[in-house]
Chain A
Amino acid sequence: MRNYLTQRIARAVLTIFLVVSFTFFLIRLMPGNPIDLFVHEQVTTYGYTYEQALEQARGFFALDIDAPLSVQYAQYLGNLARGDLGQSILSPGTPVSSLIKKFLPWTLFSVGLALMISFVLGIGLGMLMAYRRESWIDHVLTVIATVTTAVPNYLIGILLLVLLGVQTNLINIASIRGSLSPGVRPGLTLTFLIDALYHAALPITTYVMATAGGWMLSMKSSTLGTLGEDYVGFARARGLPDSRIAVAYVGRNALLPLFTQLTIAIGFVVGGSALIEYIFNYQGIGLVLYESIVRRDYPVMQGVFLVITVSVVLANLLADLLYGRLDPRVDLTAEPV
């Protein structure tokens, strides 16, 4: 087990390292990269001297732009290790790390809660569908799941906002915007929790509607596959109670393929937050990413992208370790041959 653990951790570290290097390449090395563009723009549009422009770039990106590239790369890695992600170009003096500290929790909160609701809901309903296959409840749930899965989450968001908010005024879209009402301060108070949930309700509803159907269908087909396995028939023949078979024999094995999907879903939902938070104007990290790209605030874009990636890598690592514990058939301690 220890071997497996270190191997997975090493892999996660490698992933982060490669993504970090790729980002450096994208921001610094590629022809027409943002830093060169920035310096060029400062000189041609705002009339700074080349040295002044370099000085500014140094401030925003925390890099010595005229140093050799290897030095810059080392600087870049050192900065990241210290959590220094440079400064926002559009709001000078604001470190990127403080933006992340401010906005990331909201995304983790809304996305995390939505993922949990959706996963539990989908697994429960999926097993129900498999056990009651060909019944009316299976047919109804299949149609609902198929339709909701087919609709991209941002279109669900748009439809919720347009149909419930703008066209019928069932939801007051002016008051639900943002992640907290004015005057409410974060803290362990009931007012804060209720207000946070109120503002996150539409994004969470959107995430859940968009993903629960997928879990339902996967769990149904996975359960159906498991129900046909010999060990389930054997457990029945041994006279084990149905509830024990459902949980320990069918459920546990049927869940397995879904776990690999969970790692994908985490990335997908976190990644989709750029779209959903844009629609509901929810003040999370996805909205910051969107704004930084549109406004060409590259230090922010780079930092937010790295943070999103690192959170997904860590979530994946967690799911990997869980998967290793869950599947008795995959021998994880085996040395590579």
Chain B
Amino acid sequence: MNWTTLKRNPGGALGLAGFLAIVLLVIVGPLVVPLDTSTRLDQIYAAPSRAHPFGTDNQGRDVFSQIVHGGKDLLWVATLAAGISTSIAVALGSISAVAGGHVDNALMTVTDVVLTVPHFPLLAVLAGVLQFRSQTLLAIILGVLSWPALTRAVRAQVLSLKERDFVEAATALGLGRGHIIVREILPNMRSYVAISFVLAMTQAIYAQVGLVFLGLVPLSGQNWGVMIQYGWTRGAIFHKSSVYSILAPIMAIVLLKLSLVSMARIFDEIFNPRLQEG
């Protein structure tokens, strides 16, 4: 990655900067801004002011400090889940496409089964029966359930790359299957995999916040999703002065997802060999 890449893609550069800023905010921020946990009955749903940039919540607590403290778990769960699902997907997708035959059939059947089960209802049902007590457990379940879409896409990509001249040339040269996957096909999919990792993060954020919003995950700890849930169920949406306590976490999630998605756009430029030639 160099400056020209960033210059050519102001949107992507902005996304990268935004993502780094958010990471900085949620990791360093809590060391600087103390979490406001005191209940102040005289300041319930106060409008934004200098002391409270986003106003206060239903217990008179500062919304800004909750924003600062509410992103760490979210990011951790998203990264872990995306790491798990992307690794599974790349491995299974390329094996399936290159091996073909019975292996392909078996893997795709498994993929289809997991893919076809609608993700969010399954998570909701699991949350209802199991109760997700730890964030890490939630992340693992999210990761283990979300690989199939990418697996199918990776397989489709590999199938199409397999037909291309340079792969046929490698096959004709008698280079092994492993060599063809790792040296010929995967480099052509690097950008795709990097983008998919980031998109898997956004999906994990979607599912996680969605579950919290519906109140299906125990509402513990500081989390932007919990803030939205409180804002929604405790009347913050109905007043001009209090609406910021729900808009602030919504904006935080939107900005995080937006940075991730925009950031993914420079990945194409950085990793895609086809684009580098031109």
Residues of A within 8 A of B238 (CB): 166
Residues of B within 8 A of A263 (CB): 115
Find residues 17-53 in chain A having any chain B CB closer than 8 Å to their own CB: 18-19, 26-27, 30, 33-34
**Which stretch in B76-84, B96-104, B132-140 binds the other chain?**
B96-104
Most B C-beta atoms less than 10 A away, residue of A11, A19, A261, A271: A271
With both chains docked as a complex, state the minimum distance between the C-beta of B114 and any C-beta of chain A, in angstroms.
9
Residues of B within 8 A of A154 (CB): 210, 213
Residues of A within 8 A of B100 (CB): 336-337
Residue of A nearest to B156 (CB): A260
Residues of A within 8 A of B129 (CB): 26-27, 30, 33-34
Residues of B within 8 A of A93 (CB): none
Which of B116, B121, B228 is A316 in contact with, Cβ under 8 Å? Answer: B116
**Which stretch in A81-89, A97-105, A142-150, A182-190 binds the other chain?**
A142-150
With A149-B261, A267-B118, A275-B210: A336-B112 Cβ-Cβ less than 8 Å? no
- B261–A257 contact, CB under 8 A? no
With A151-B257, A336-B101: A162-B237 Cβ-Cβ less than 8 Å? yes
**Bound-complex Cα distance A323 to B122 (A):** 26
Which of B124, B258, B260 is A289 in contact with, Cβ under 8 Å? Answer: B124
Find residues 89-144 in chain B having any chain A CB closer than 8 Å to their own CB: 100-102, 104-105, 109, 112-113, 115-122, 124-129
Residues of B within 8 A of A318 (CB): none
With A33-B129, A296-B128: A278-B214 Cβ-Cβ less than 8 Å? yes
**Which stretch in A112-120, A236-244, A305-313 binds the other chain?**
A305-313
**Bound-complex Cα distance A289 to B216 (A):** 12
Which of B105, B116, B159, B250 is A309 in contact with, Cβ under 8 Å? Answer: B116
B196 at the interface (CB under 8 A from A): no
Find residues 247-270 in chain B having any chain A CB closer than 8 Å to their own CB: 247, 250, 253-254, 257-258, 260-262, 265
- A309–B102 contact, CB under 8 A? no
- A150–B112 contact, CB under 8 A? no
- A268–B128 contact, CB under 8 A? no
Count of B interface residues, CB-CB < 8 Å: 56
Residues of A within 8 A of B254 (CB): 150-151, 155
- A158–B101 contact, CB under 8 A? no
Residues of A within 8 A of B205 (CB): 152
A interface: dominant SS: helix
Find residues 316-337 in chain A having any chain B CB closer than 8 Å to their own CB: 316, 329-330, 336-337
With both chains docked as a complex, state the minimum distance between the C-beta of A320 and any C-beta of chain B, in angstroms.
9
A301 at the interface (CB under 8 A from B): yes
**Bound-complex Cα distance A158 to B152 (A):** 32
A71 at the interface (CB under 8 A from B): no
**Bound-complex Cα distance A26 to B128 (A):** 11
With both chains docked as a complex, state the minimum distance between the C-beta of B130 and any C-beta of chain A, in angstroms.
8
Residues of A within 8 A of B159 (CB): 330
- A293–B124 contact, CB under 8 A? yes
- B258–A150 contact, CB under 8 A? yes
**Bound-complex Cα distance A256 to B129 (A):** 39
Residue of B nearest to A228 (CB): B274
A270 at the interface (CB under 8 A from B): yes
A14 at the interface (CB under 8 A from B): yes
Residues of B within 8 A of A18 (CB): 113
Residues of B within 8 A of A312 (CB): 116-118
Which of B119, B246, B261 is A271 in contact with, Cβ under 8 Å? Answer: B119
A264 at the interface (CB under 8 A from B): yes
With A155-B253, A301-B128, A336-B105: A267-B163 Cβ-Cβ less than 8 Å? no
With A14-B109, A336-B101: A268-B214 Cβ-Cβ less than 8 Å? no
**Bound-complex Cα distance A296 to B100 (A):** 44
A167 at the interface (CB under 8 A from B): yes
Residues of B within 8 A of A305 (CB): 121-122, 125
Task: Mark interface residues in A233-274 (1 if CB within 8 Å of B CB, else 0).
Answer: 000000000000000000000000100110110011011101
- B202–A150 contact, CB under 8 A? yes
Known: A34-B129, A166-B238, A316-B116. 7 other contacts (CB 8 A): A150-B260, A158-B250, A268-B118, A289-B125, A293-B124, A309-B116, A312-B117
**Top 5 A-B pairs ranked by shortest CB distance?**
A271-B118, A271-B120, A293-B128, A150-B258, A150-B257
B contact set with A: CB distance below 8 Å: 11, 100-102, 104-105, 109, 112-113, 115-122, 124-129, 149, 152-153, 156, 159-160, 163, 202, 205-206, 209-210, 213-216, 228, 232, 237-238, 240, 243, 246-247, 250, 253-254, 257-258, 260-262, 265
A-B CB contact pairs (8 Å), 26 listed: A15-B113, A15-B116, A150-B260, A151-B254, A152-B205, A152-B210, A154-B210, A158-B246, A162-B237, A162-B243, A260-B152, A260-B156, A264-B149, A274-B121, A274-B124, A275-B213, A286-B121, A289-B121, A293-B125, A293-B127, A294-B214, A294-B215, A305-B122, A305-B125, A312-B118, A316-B115
